[in-house]
Amino acid sequence: MAEDPAAASLATRARARQLVMAGDMAAAVALLQGSYPRVLKGGPSSEEVQFYLSCQQYIELVRQRRVDEAVQFAQAVLAALLHGAPQWEGTLRDVVALIAYEAPEASPLAHLLSTAQRERVADVVNAAVLGAAAAAAAAAGGAEGGGGAGGAAAMQTEASAAAAAAVAAEQQQQQPAKSSLERLLAQLVAVQGALHEESGGRGEPFDLRKHLGPPPGSSGSGGGGGSPGRELRR
């Protein structure tokens, strides 16, 4: 008899949460790849999961003062993940800016080093695994004439609740960012300057105007309506 998808999901979710809360993103990714690969690639929320796990991996590198590795990781992974996903730009600005502080745990971005931040990432992973398990249960139920539909529906409801909780937490986190855009832009300039220095001054210096210019037809700096069309490029 095949293993109950709900039971398998519970074990994976518990272990994934444990690894994320311990700051071991590499092990969490390996677990997901072995158990629910669609959570990381090809699933409905795989881009979101990849983004948050990658951001947390960068945060853990900064926490451990592994500056060179953090810079390389940001350039190789974080910048690539942002393409086509401007809704995460505010989060990425905060995350990348951690490296600009000598003591990030005493900076305005110290909340990114908190237990609550790890919990937020764990919630995103949990919701994605629930969704993948619900899809697997529904597929199995269809193949067997609908016998697993009830369990799949219950798991889908739980997945929706977990996803809603993760979204609510993210919106709460983003609220201060929207009311302090000038501070975030200053941090962006600072970290780009630091990265330019790390590279020995190679390449073109960062020009904020090239990256955060107003969309066509807008009035530039006015509004307060957010910046969903902006892209962060390195």
Q: Residue 138 and residue 140: Cα distance in Å, rounded?
A: 5
152 in Cβ contact with 134 (< 8 Å)? yes
Query: Does residue 127 lie in a domain region?
Result: yes
**Number of domains into which the chain is organized:** 1
Looking at the domain assignment, is residue 211 inside a domain? no
pLDDT at 231: 34
H helices of 113-233, in order, are 115-143, 149-178, 181-198, 208-211
pLDDT for the residue 141: 63
Q: Is residue 223 part of a domain?
A: no
And the tokens for 65?
A: 């003062």
pLDDT tens for residues 178-201? 444 444 455 555 555 555 555 566
Per the structure, the complete domain to which residue 120 belongs is given by 5-199
* Model confidence pLDDT, tens digit, residues 18-76: 999 999 999 999 999 999 999 999 988 999 999 999 999 999 999 999 999 999 999 99
Yes or no: say if 19 and 27 are a contact pair by the CB < 8 Å rule.
Answer: yes
Q: What is the mean pLDDT of the chain?
A: 74
Reported as a pLDDT band with limits 50, 70 and 90, residue 158 is low
Distance CA 149, CA 158 (A): 14
Q: Which of 147, 129, 166 is nearest to 43 (CA)?
A: 129
Task: Find tokens 């993948």 and name the residue.
Answer: 132
Asked whether residue 151 is assigned to any structural domain, the reply reads yes
Check residue 174 and give its pLDDT. Answer: 47
Q: What is the pLDDT of residues 2-33, one digit of tens each?
A: 556 567 689 999 999 999 999 999 999 999 99
Residue 230 included in any domain: no
Share of the chain above pLDDT 90, in %: 42
- Residue 226's pLDDT band (cuts 50, 70, 90): very low
In a domain, 76, yes or no: yes
Worst-scoring range by mean pLDDT, 98-102, 119-123, 151-155, 227-231?
Answer: 227-231
The average pLDDT across 216-220 equals: 47
Q: What is the pLDDT of residue 138?
A: 77
Q: What is the pLDDT of residue 124?
A: 95
Q: Is 215 helix (H, G, I), strand (E, B) or coil?
A: coil
Locate 225 and state its tokens: 């309506």
Tokens of 37: 């690969």
In a domain, 220, yes or no: no
Structural domain contains residue 208: no
Full-model pTM: 0.62
**Comparison of pLDDT for 130 and 8, the residue scoring more:** 130
Could you please report the per-residue DSSP string of 2-52? PPPHHHHHHHHHHHHHHHHHTT-HHHHHHHHHHH-GGGTTTSTTHHHHHHH
Closest Cα partner for 19 from 55, 69, 67, 53? 53
pLDDT of residue 113 exceeding 80, the answer is: yes
